[in-house]
Structure 1
């Protein structure tokens, strides 16, 4: 019988349509099961990126715990990666190992399956303080000679150990990005005729020659199989009196003038995709830079060079990460990268103490602190050092009060993975390049940052900066879990959105 001719049948159908949603079924009554995977590192080294609990998200109930709310609707910066610097010292130590052991160490650093999968490196352009030998640039000349057209430019020094390792790292992690930074310029460009200290000659021809020097580096590394993702034009430009290693006092006007020449050169040569980052120094003025300009990163972005500047690079040795947010709020269309922080310990510190101290400080300030404050990358300093903080030629190598630490220590054939390795691993193994930081709120002593990967996985990295073990709630999409974290520990939690 047709329904249109049977009002009673129509009424029966309408009642059914109204009541069906009210009748629970197994599909309607059960929320999708979302299980969390987690990994933990503790300050006592008892757990080192070890698997942790696997709680299941449940519908919200009452909770008296500190709560982190993860909100996918809030989206911030995209992520380039996390890593360190393959200095000359690091390359020397890696080449002191047998080929098979070196391959194992490299895999532990760059392979995401067999290691932590580092995804970003900051490469010195020429010498830094961490060299296993004399300082060098790519255009060192006898006194009195110049080479404005870079006819004698050569990266031969890097072809021995550094470039083979960079190519190996890229083979282990094809998504690896490499940025590059100079510590000093060829002596013939400097007022004091030295790579160490002083300023560039205040001469437009010198600025042009130096910009060409940087372009030649980009071209040479590209030809050697290591494309450059980004450049800065001077490491720590307000630290013009380095302790026996290359460095240059570079005022804002000099940096802007160089960038104004470098940008068009890169464009004309087909490298307009290479990002130019300004500043590359601390969150705040360092005590060693009393005559510095506290507004330096702002002033560069106010100069005419801003056309060519993609963003700003920061270091950790003075100030706090919230300086990055202050700059971002003033220049929201310019990105931020965090490009250097070295672990360090006093001469009397035991390995257990400096592991614990570094894990706590770097988790709070470097991996979590910088990314919560808009950093697209977070980079440690040396990839590898020995346990005495060397080899080095100046800087930390001259210190009588303490030593720098690497991501790994290499002493003979003994390789030790330091706190930096595990802090980075909590990011690099789980946060993919191209991930986006999403909303999450610091909850008391549980500092954290959250990301959403391109494939949809959500990653929450948290550290307990308090003095005792704490249990907290993670709230997401109308559901929640509880998690417990020891004092000073770091945890990564992941789940499918």
Structure 2
């Protein structure tokens, strides 16, 4: 079982400062005792650095300076055994974090500068009093949690832009990009994943007649144009000083009901990767990794199908999962089928205002399950 501590186990001991009696020879004046410290140093060194959050909020990411050490289990002790063997390694973890939705970026950006700075420090700074969020997921264009629906190349009905001459990050310049820049100023090493909810409407077929941002599929004749869309996105964000570490190619590719949304079946995604976006990234020298699927754990056959495509597989770093359907054991199924490919857990929505104690219990339980039973690399929403 994995134990969770802030950053790492702390090796070594604490330096204990001992006050000795010091007096001149022959001086019989007693040396006064040193004052008792307000927070006395524990007499026993701790092997583990512990930060505590409790369901009743009596402690919120509070450093607990008490000794916590490993030892032999006591007879009859029913508590779980935590065994740390530093000679063995298992899966690597890219980071832990959240999705920065368009709505969240808007709310954060509207805060006053002092409040916003304090919030971003609490979330993203890597000192001992901050959460140290290390991974973010953002939407490529609008998500269903944005104030309005948009892509980066929206055109009036009937028009197309195959060369993407009208591509622009403009809709995200108001809130998302400024907030991302402030986050990067706090934590320059944070990793960012981008996921689209839809392609521009002019690239789609069979979309909702009244709302072409909803449903439909990517038309095969626009596969190369959409690949260029991803290239331009990564390059445009880089020009803003925002490095995109990874992209998924379609959020929830089997869900046509979100607004926005787009269907992308496994054979379509494999062909898009194999023939268009994979070669386009290679030709442009883009090192942003490509992650397939990005939907529920009830369809492990989808990523297995994409990874099973010999032409697509070399371009794909791994598979991403949500947990609104299916069992988290499915992540192991995919890992066992393609052990050289990484696994990402990218989304589990919790609605506001939430229930702190219940949400905390859910998060802890799922983090432990994900870490101990599967090969998971990174992010929570």
TM over 0.5: yes
Matched, 1:107 2:121: yes
Q: Distance in 2 between matches of 1:240 and 1:161?
A: 27
User: Is the contact made by 2:45 and 2:67 (CA closer than 8 Å) also made in structure 1?
Assistant: no
Q: Deviations over 1:114-172 (max 9, x none)?
A: 5211111111000111112x200000011111111111111011122211111111110
Counterpart pick for 2:284 among 263, 269, 273: 269
Matched, 1:213 2:225: no
Q: Deviations over 1:350-403 (max 9, x none)?
A: x6x8111111111111x33323311111221xxxxxxxxxxxxxxxxxxxxxxx
Matched, 1:325 2:338: no
Q: Deviations over 1:12-53 (max 9, x none)?
A: xxxxxxxxxxxxxxxxxxxx9653332222222222222336
Q: Deviations over 1:302-342 (max 9, x none)?
A: 11311110000011211232211121111100001111111
Structure 2 match to 1:143: 157
Q: Deviations over 1:255-285 (max 9, x none)?
A: 11211211111111111x2110000011115
Bigger relative CO (Cα 8 Å, ≥ 6 apart): 1
Q: Distance in 1 between matches of 2:360 and 2:45?
A: 33
Structure 2 match to 1:121: 136
Deviates more, 1:294-303 or 1:34-43: 34-43
Secondary structure of the equivalent of 2:351? strand
Matched, 1:335 2:353: no
Q: Distance in 1 between matches of 2:114 and 2:87?
A: 47
Q: Distance in 2 between matches of 1:130 and 1:94?
A: 14
User: Is the contact made by 1:282 and 1:314 (CA closer than 8 Å) also made in structure 2?
Assistant: yes
Deviates more, 1:189-198 or 1:52-61: 52-61
Mark the runs of 5 or more structure 1 residues left unpaired by the alignment: 1-31, 286-293, 346-350, 381-497
Structure 2 match to 1:311: 318
Secondary structure of the equivalent of 2:145? coil
Matched, 1:165 2:185: no
* Matching of residues 17-32 of structure 1 within 5 Å: none
User: Is the contact made by 2:55 and 2:356 (CA closer than 8 Å) also made in structure 1?
Assistant: yes
Counterpart pick for 2:215 among 180, 187, 197: 197
Counterpart pick for 2:306 among 300, 306, 310: 300
* Matching of residues 407-418 of structure 1 within 5 Å: none
Structure 2 match to 1:95: 109
Structure 2 match to 1:72: 86
| Greater share of strand | 1
Matched, 1:369 2:369: yes
Structure 2 match to 1:355: 356
Q: Distance in 1 between matches of 2:260 and 2:194?
A: 15
Runs ≥4 residues deviating over 6 A:
none
User: Is the contact made by 2:47 and 2:70 (CA closer than 8 Å) also made in structure 1?
Assistant: no
Counterpart pick for 1:182 among 173, 193, 196: 196
Counterpart pick for 1:237 among 240, 253, 256: 253
Structure 2 match to 1:278: 292
Secondary structure of the equivalent of 2:293? strand
Secondary structure of the equivalent of 1:218? helix
> By how many angstroms is 1:110 displaced?
0.8
> By how many angstroms is 1:196 displaced?
0.7
* Matching of residues 38-77 of structure 1 within 5 Å: 38-52=50-64, 54-55=66-67, 57=69, 60=72, 62-65=74-77, 66=79, 67-77=81-91
Q: Distance in 2 between matches of 1:315 and 1:219?
A: 27
Secondary structure of the equivalent of 1:78? coil
Root-mean-square deviation over aligned CA pairs: 1.9
Q: Distance in 1 between matches of 2:266 and 2:370?
A: 24
Secondary structure of the equivalent of 2:377? strand
User: Is the contact made by 2:323 and 2:347 (CA closer than 8 Å) also made in structure 1?
Assistant: yes
Q: Distance in 2 between matches of 1:38 and 1:99?
A: 31
Q: Cα–Cα, structure 1 residues 62 and 98, in superposed 2: closer, same or farther, change >3 Å?
A: closer
Tell me the TM-score normalised to structure 1 length.
0.63
Q: Cα–Cα, structure 1 residues 53 and 308, in superposed 2: closer, same or farther, change >3 Å?
A: same
User: Is the contact made by 2:158 and 2:202 (CA closer than 8 Å) also made in structure 1?
Assistant: yes
Count of aligned positions: 328
Secondary structure of the equivalent of 1:164? helix
Q: Distance in 1 between matches of 2:349 and 2:257?
A: 19
